[in-house]
Each structure stands twice: as C-alpha cells, then as structure tokens.
Amino acid sequence: MHIPSQRLKRSRLRVIALFFLFSSAVASLLAQQPSAGDQNAANNPLTPKITLNFQDQGAPKLYDLNQGSNAFLLRGLLPHKLGGRGQLFRYTLPVVTAPNGSGGMATGLGDLNVFDLFPFLWKKAKMEVAVGPQLTFPTATETVTGTGKWQAGLATLAVAPRKWGLGGGLVTWQHSFAGDSSRSTQNNLAAQPLFLYNLPQGFYLRSTATWNFDLEQGNYSIPFGAGFGKVWVLHNGTTVNAFAEPQWTVARNGAGQPQFQVFGGLNIQLPGKK
C-alpha cells in the first residue's frame, strides 16, 4: 500500500530536480537576459510559436483514499492557418498512474484532448482572446486512466499581457456523445486562472491551478497554486521555460480529489515569426 505513494513522491522529486539540472545545463548557452516581453511570450498560451511541453502533475494522496495519482503530460501547440486566418492547435496526451480500485495502481495512456483556437485582439480591454472547439478521444490503455467516452465541447482563453506579467484564464467544457455504454456519462467544466508575475533575470512567480467540476456527478476540486519558474532565451531564439508549482486543494466534493499536488515541467518554444 505504501509503495505507490513512495513512487509518486520520487516522481515529484524528479520534476523538481529536472528544473534545477536544466537550469545549470543551459546557463552557458544564454544569448541574453530575457526581457519582460520575452517572459510574457514564454508564458502566454496564445503565443503563435511551435511549442513542446513536458509537464507532470503528481498528487501524493487523494481524499478518502490511501493512494495518490500522477499524470505526465505530453503537450504541444501548433500555429497554423485556415482560410488565411491564424489558428492555434493544442494537443495533450497524458500518461496516467491511478488507483485501480483493488488496492493497487495502474499506469497507461490517458485520453487524448485537442482543441483549435481562433485568436483575436479585444482592443478595448487590451486582451488577447481565443475561442474554439475541443475534442477528447478515448485513447486510454487502462480503464482507470481514461473515461472510455468520446467527448466534444468548447475552449475559451483570455490573456492580458502587462509589463509586470500576465493575467487571464482558460475555460473548457465538454460532454460525452459516444463510447463505452457501460461507462459514466461525462459532463465536465474546467477553469484555469492564470497569474504570472515577472521578476529580474528571467525568474517569475506563478499561480495556474486548474479548477475541475464534474457537472454530471456534482463533484469538484478547487486548488490554489503558488510556484516559480525561469525563462531562458537561447542563441538561436528558442525559449526555454522551466517551472514548479505546488498546489493545495482549498475546496472539494467527492472522493478521489487531490489533497495536495505539484505541477512542474519544461516548456520549449521554437523560433518563429513575430
């Protein structure tokens, strides 16, 4: 019973170690100290650059369960054009470790989520806004690592870049429409407030915890995050962004919600046109 918990703790430590090891490795490659604009671009999910994200979210203990969970996220952003209009395609494929319901743990692929955003500038509010459809594919290789359902919905993202940093939020909603008839209907809303405050030499503070609401079952979790990160701009224009953000659940309903979790990762933005 204690082995999975120890494994999850080691996973979180590896994420934190990755942050510091990568910091040392890239220090000699820096072309310049990033400006506030560079930091904002590195943290802005609407920056139209090819982006590769390697992220991990681990919860050592879930409410009402003597077990934890972990999700390693393979995520990316691909800017493209359709009909001459710029769009942003984002995909997320998780590798999930979760309780299997019999006292053990199961690890496998989770469900693939994609959405395609149509960005525009809201000049009056000085905000960047994007709206688009999203789709989730039942790609999970284990029953407990996915929902077994096809899901469709909408994603809305608003970001306000300022000299001090970024503020904004991402809201997604999706509902199941096909899949395994023996699995529960899915009707989920997620809201992710975004707050990032720039510090000197590429460092920044962040709070980006996602609030999850199961509208079908009435369960929810509302965490609060407080973390930090660092941005580097390499000689070839590639931006590297490493971060770690502890998150505490401040309100919740239903079993299996995380008591505490750590969200960390490494984001790489490739050079692109301004």
In a domain, 174, yes or no: yes
Q: What is the pLDDT confidence band of residue 149, given thresholds at 50, 70 and 90?
A: very high
pLDDT for 26 beyond 70: no
In a domain, 142, yes or no: yes
Give 72-97 pLDDT, tens digit per residue: 999 999 999 988 889 999 999 999 99
Identify each DSSP E strand in 63-164 by its residue range: 69-82, 85-99, 105-109, 112-122, 127-137, 149-162
Give 196-254 pLDDT, tens digit per residue: 999 999 999 999 999 999 999 999 999 999 999 999 999 888 999 999 999 999 999 99
In a domain, 10, yes or no: yes
Q: Which of 196, 212, 218, 217 is nearest to 249 (CA)?
A: 212
How far is it, in rounded angstroms, from Cα 127 to Cα 115? 20
In a domain, 274, yes or no: no
In a domain, 209, yes or no: yes
- Residue ranges making up the domain that contains 92: 3-269
pLDDT for 3 beyond 50: no
Number of domains composing the chain: 1
In a domain, 259, yes or no: yes
How far is it, in rounded angstroms, from Cα 90 to Cα 75? 7
In a domain, 65, yes or no: yes
Q: Which of 204, 202, 251 is nearest to 223 (CA)?
A: 251
Burial pattern 97-118, b for ≥16 Cβ within 10 A else e, equals bbbbeeeebbbbbbbbbebbbe
Q: Are 203 and 226 in contact (CB under 8 A)?
A: no
pLDDT score, position 6: 55
Q: What is the CATH number of the domain that holds 22?
A: 2.40.160.40
